[in-house]
Chains A and B, each alone.
Chain A
């Protein structure tokens, strides 16, 4: 350990296999908690959440810090921290088909 802050350039958690707790929150404020490894793709969490709520994963939008999650995102690539929140919204459709 160094006393000099400038020497300490190591990320907070280097272990890619370390688990992290993530909260998935709906627009109504309902919360579901997941524990996944930092190098696990969040698409796995999305699938698990969709199954849990009984919806097609394609009709659910997952947002982290305002941005849509991408296929290959992991907690590590997004630099997520313990207890971070993923917002979940359902697809919104308006108008009608003739």
Chain B
């Protein structure tokens, strides 16, 4: 069971451990998708994400919190693509969140255009799909937050997905604990 401080802190820690591809990435906080879901407030989200320069990045990682479950949206605006990691492998959940994520990203990219007076290729429509993870043959609820970070680590290493298995999750948890503990005190 992970809370949002560990999920977002984990993303920051992984970015510190695997810096090579970080310039291609933008990391949204766990609050951004929730705020969009709750109120569609572009202005509230913009305040939090503008410093990431997400409109200029190849990959935007958007953690998704659904009641008591963590998922991850992997957004690639230049490919008009959104992949959704759902360790529960639910048939419908990914689709609903992919739509929310696409709507949010479209609104935020329009906001970036307006504020920075730039022209972006804003996808219409987006293509969305559930992320295939070989190790997730059965749904995994307990480790959902850890799987978000496992996949983020793989992406930061330049891979498309992860080859980690369920058996290796305890070792990844220890690695993650160490990475977060040594992250430092910056916000």
Contacts and interface: CB of A to CB of B under 8 A. Distances in A.
Contact of B187 (A29, A67, A93): A67
Contacts of A63: 31, 48
B57 interface: no
Interface stretch (B11-19, B99-107, B140-148): B140-148
Interface string A1-31: 0000000000000000000000001111100
Interface residues of B, number: 31
Contact of B2 (A29, A67, A89, A94): A94
Interface in A55-89: 61, 63, 65-68, 87, 89
| Interface of chain B, main secondary structure | helix
A95 B44 contact: no
A92 B65 contact: yes
Interface residues of A, number: 21
B31 A94 contact: no
A89 B68 contact: no
Given A28-B38, A29-B39, A87-B44, A68 B187 contact: yes
B69 interface: yes
Contact of A94 (B39, B48, B70): B70
A66 B47 contact: yes
A98 interface: yes
A53 interface: no
Given A94-B68, A95-B2, A96-B68, A27 B47 contact: no
A49 to B, nearest CB: 17
Given A67-B187, A95-B143, A89 B48 contact: no
29 contacts: A27-B31, A27-B34, A27-B41, A29-B39, A61-B4, A63-B31, A63-B48, A87-B48, A89-B4, A92-B3, A92-B4, A92-B30, A92-B65, A93-B2, A93-B3, A93-B68, A94-B1, A94-B2, A94-B68, A94-B144, A94-B145, A95-B141, A95-B142, A95-B144, A96-B1, A96-B141, A96-B142, A97-B1, A98-B142
Name the 7 nearest CB pairs between A and B, nearest first: A94-B70, A66-B48, A92-B4, A27-B38, A92-B65, A95-B1, A29-B39
Given A95-B2, A96-B141, A98-B142, 4 more contacts: A27-B39, A67-B187, A89-B4, A95-B145
Interface of B: 1-4, 7, 29-31, 34-35, 38-39, 41, 44, 47-51, 65-66, 68-70, 141-146, 187
